[in-house]
Structure 1
Amino acid sequence: MTDSIRFEGGMGEGGMEIVRRLAEAGHAAYFVGGCVRDALLGRAVKDIDIATSAKPEAVLELFPNAIPTGLKHGTVTIPLRDWQYEVTTFRAESEYSDGRRPDEVVFIDDVEGDLERRDFTVNAMAVGADGRLVDPFGGRRDLAAKMLRAVGDPAERFGEDALRMLRFVRFAAEYGFAPDERTWAEAKAGAPGLAAIAMERVFGELSRMIAGADPYRALRLLAESELLRWTKERLRLPRELGLAAGVSDDPLPRLARVPDELARWALWFDRMGLGPEEADRACKALRTSGAFADAIRRTLGLHAHLRGAPEAAARRSWITGALRYGEETSRRWLALAAAAAETEPYGWAARYVDSGPLWLAEMSARTLKELAISGADVLAAAEGRKAGPWLQALLQRLLEHTALGELPNEREALLAQARVWLAESDGRKRDGI
């Protein structure tokens, strides 16, 4: 862990400029929170927050281009070069009667008083322009010990904002921290408090866990704590969250190998036994975007389509699945399968991992737009038929045969085949079939 705490280059350089300008104007100013933690760990700093004794009005006067993003809570956002910096006045907070936000915010002049309101000791450190570390709660010691501990009384911290219990799980998993025994006990005891938290905030934390460095550990901690049983809206997830206790061939420990976050979610949902519709209900409860829910639904739909196919029909199943669920979904599923196929429950997926990319590349058409004919072409050859559901069905049939290599993607060949099928359809109608 570095002894020299400096924020230099890129975002750090802009942050230093802001801290120095505030100091030159007679205000105390510090880097605070996650950027200090990550700098001490030697990790890349992605966000910089600054705390200051200056009131918001004074910050706005010093930085005329600043944006008053949260004046009630003392926060302004300063755009500088290619970055944006949140600058917040030192503050103390009153009771959290709703378990989500303080009833009142009071501006103070003391950085240690500001750090006292923060969640965990590793996030309750500050660094001034001179590089001096302010660490009243032993955050640096806990970093060295890889320990995650609440600032002060953990029951109070979790009572102030119940989302901190999920943040506790996320930080423990992301940084490989061991949960402090007392803090962890209070997190589990305080789980019912999550009923006060908006589902969008719950999803935000879960999303960071699943996309993080060790999603499997996050799931283990969630299962142990049973936090997700207490959310505002019931998620209807199995108690074990899909974890196979004592099974060495469980694919979930391989989640971190999956490069696509949506594919990680799909694998987790599948391990919990959730099909497309059940997963869709969970997404709705979590208030995910429609695009997120659709991607999960499609990925699980393709998964079910492929899992039930006999090995002899693997190529046909893959191509028809790609047509039905889309190329993007097919490539996302391959990211899932590449990790899971190494385990016995997903061994059947290995043939798709090996051949799926080649089969996709060989498809001469993947969508109706890529077909060499259009609906207008078919109507012109249909001798007076009116457009209707039959037209879409015929085009999809042409697309499937073309994608499978059974028809060339050439206008005349496709029109000829369309005429054959139309004649067959007319013949069946005449015969009353």
Structure 2
Amino acid sequence: MFEIALPLEVRVIIEALQKADFEAFVVGGCVRDSLLKEQFDEFSPLYPKDWDIATSAKPESIRRVLEPLKIQVIPTGIKHGTISALIGKKIYEITTYRIDGEYIKHRRPKEVFFVSNLKDDLYRRDFTINAMAYHPDIGIFDPFDGKNDLKNKIIKAVGNPNERFKEDALRILRALRFASRFGFEIDTLTKKAIWSHKKLLKFISKERIREEIKGILCGKWAGDVLREYIEIIGFAWSGENNIFERIIHDKEKILQAIAFCPQEFIPRIAILIYESQITLQRSDEILAQLYFDKKTQKTIFELIRHIPIEFVEEKSWIKKYLNILGQQRFKVLLGIKSAQYKSEGKPQGIIKIKKIGIMLEEIIQKNEPFSLKDLAINGYHLKEIGVPRKKIGIMLEAMLEAIIDEKISNRQDELKKFAKGLLGMDRQYG
């Protein structure tokens, strides 16, 4: 029998419910990820993030069982049969076996009904690989052959895929996210249902769409998913006016560039929008459509704006762009340019980026100045030597530029002398 190494806290919860004559199993993603870790070398580092528990006990009974054990019970979703057990700093969700009633706007059930049968509970779930349960004494409970689908790397809806997507249209993007994350194929009937029901995505909140698209783009197999489903992703993002229309008709170089990027959302979305030949103004509008926070919007916009620049293998040029973008964004931009050159088959460009990367690390390690905060002088020092308040900012920028161009060194005495010289010229000609 296959054994999952359950956390001690999970065992405590299961055993407590079992002693009170209730069933309790871990369910969903933790079972899937434990099996992946066991069956495939490529997933050996995988460890379940969350340990969700399904039980025949109703919420009030769960509370009565756990509170005597000094486990804090939080009523996070009593209406839907879910409570959370807080043990230490970790939260474990415990949900009563249930079936869903009528769904509202292709997203959430209007009501749920508690049941006593685990199979009925698993039947309401999205995909067979997520519809498995585990008990340490019983092993895997797998009524929909999810284990076999996992072995064959297949994403298949539980039951009728048309019904599953009509119930909850977000499952369309979840299927693509799992395909991108695990490199799985989507079952033929499930794939057909995805295309048939793609327009139901208009009922899903933009915030939820944003999070699923982030997951899709960060997957190891994102390029394969985009190759086949970019039209679905574009529709989810912007409706009928597909923002990624160019990629639909001209994919390969763009998808290769994305695949060569680090598995991180910001560089991948930046290159996706840039390569779609979307204007800068429109790019800003597109990012706002999915309610990205202002900081993320600004970062992505700045990267898109600077992707076309010609990179130069000079320390002064690197420092000037470090001042403009900051260290983190500049490093991301380097990764994007490297991915571009790789997708275009330009080895000289790749070599150039590597050299710039080495120079960048040298600048950082030596703490060489590239921004105003790095200067050995500040506004108070300039005020002391008589620089007018309105001129201080301009003079600090002039000093930084002179240091970057190696005309002066970053020493306070030399900077004061430089400032006095500028001040004298300003008085003479101003």
Give the TM bin, normalised by the shorter chain.
Answer: 0.7 to 0.9
Please say if 1:77 is aligned against 2:84.
Answer: yes
Please say if 1:35 is aligned against 2:23.
Answer: no
Partner of 1:173: 180
State the AA in 2 paired with 1:420: G
Tell me which of 274, 285, 290 is aligned to 2:289: 285
What is the DSSP-based 3-state SS (H/G/I as helix, E as strand, rest coil) of the residue aligned with 1:143?
helix
What is the DSSP-based 3-state SS (H/G/I as helix, E as strand, rest coil) of the residue aligned with 1:407?
coil
Change (3 A) 1:176 1:395: same
Please say if 1:252 is aligned against 2:266.
Answer: no
State the AA in 2 paired with 1:6: I
What is the DSSP-based 3-state SS (H/G/I as helix, E as strand, rest coil) of the residue aligned with 1:54?
coil
Q: Equivalent residues in 2 for 1:61-140 (5 A)?
A: 61-64=64-67, 65-140=72-147
User: 1:18 Cα deviation (Å)?
Assistant: 1.2
State the AA in 2 paired with 1:19: I
Tell me which of 54, 65, 77 is aligned to 2:57: 54
Structure 2: distance between partners of 1:355 and 1:174: 31
Unaligned runs of 5+ in 1: none
Structure 2: distance between partners of 1:314 and 1:301: 21
User: 1:147 Cα deviation (Å)?
Assistant: 1.4
Conserved in 2, the CA contact under 8 Å of 1:121 and 1:151? yes
What is the DSSP-based 3-state SS (H/G/I as helix, E as strand, rest coil) of the residue aligned with 1:251?
helix
State the AA in 2 paired with 1:61: R
User: 1:329 Cα deviation (Å)?
Assistant: 1.4
Partner of 2:398: 397
What is the DSSP-based 3-state SS (H/G/I as helix, E as strand, rest coil) of the residue aligned with 1:22?
helix
Tell me which of 376, 380, 395 is aligned to 1:376: 380
Partner of 2:16: 21
Structure 2: distance between partners of 1:222 and 1:50: 33
Conserved in 2, the CA contact under 8 Å of 1:302 and 1:325? no
Partner of 2:43: none
Change (3 A) 1:220 1:358: same
> What TM-score results when the alignment is normalised by the length of structure 1?
0.87
Conserved in 2, the CA contact under 8 Å of 1:92 and 1:117? yes
Change (3 A) 1:237 1:393: farther
Change (3 A) 1:318 1:349: farther
Conserved in 2, the CA contact under 8 Å of 1:243 and 1:271? no
Conserved in 1, the CA contact under 8 Å of 2:73 and 2:86? yes
Q: Equivalent residues in 2 for 1:159-198 (5 A)?
A: 159-198=166-205
Structure 2: distance between partners of 1:214 and 1:249: 11
User: 1:345 Cα deviation (Å)?
Assistant: 7.1
User: 1:302 Cα deviation (Å)?
Assistant: 3.9
What is the DSSP-based 3-state SS (H/G/I as helix, E as strand, rest coil) of the residue aligned with 2:329?
helix
> What TM-score results when the alignment is normalised by the length of structure 2?
0.88
Q: Aligned pairs, how many?
A: 414
Structure 2: distance between partners of 1:241 and 1:17: 51
Structure 2: distance between partners of 1:92 and 1:154: 17
State the AA in 1 paired with 2:373: K
State the AA in 1 paired with 2:49: K
State the AA in 1 paired with 2:213: L
Partner of 1:45: 48
Structure 1: distance between partners of 2:393 and 2:263: 36
User: 1:423 Cα deviation (Å)?
Assistant: 3.2
Structure 1: distance between partners of 2:167 and 2:152: 26
Conserved in 2, the CA contact under 8 Å of 1:319 and 1:404? no
Unaligned runs of 5+ in 2: 38-45
State the AA in 1 paired with 2:415: L
Structure 2: distance between partners of 1:275 and 1:80: 50
Give me the identity figure in percent: 28
Deviations 1:215-244 (A, max 9, x none): 222322331x43422447788622244884
Partner of 2:316: 316
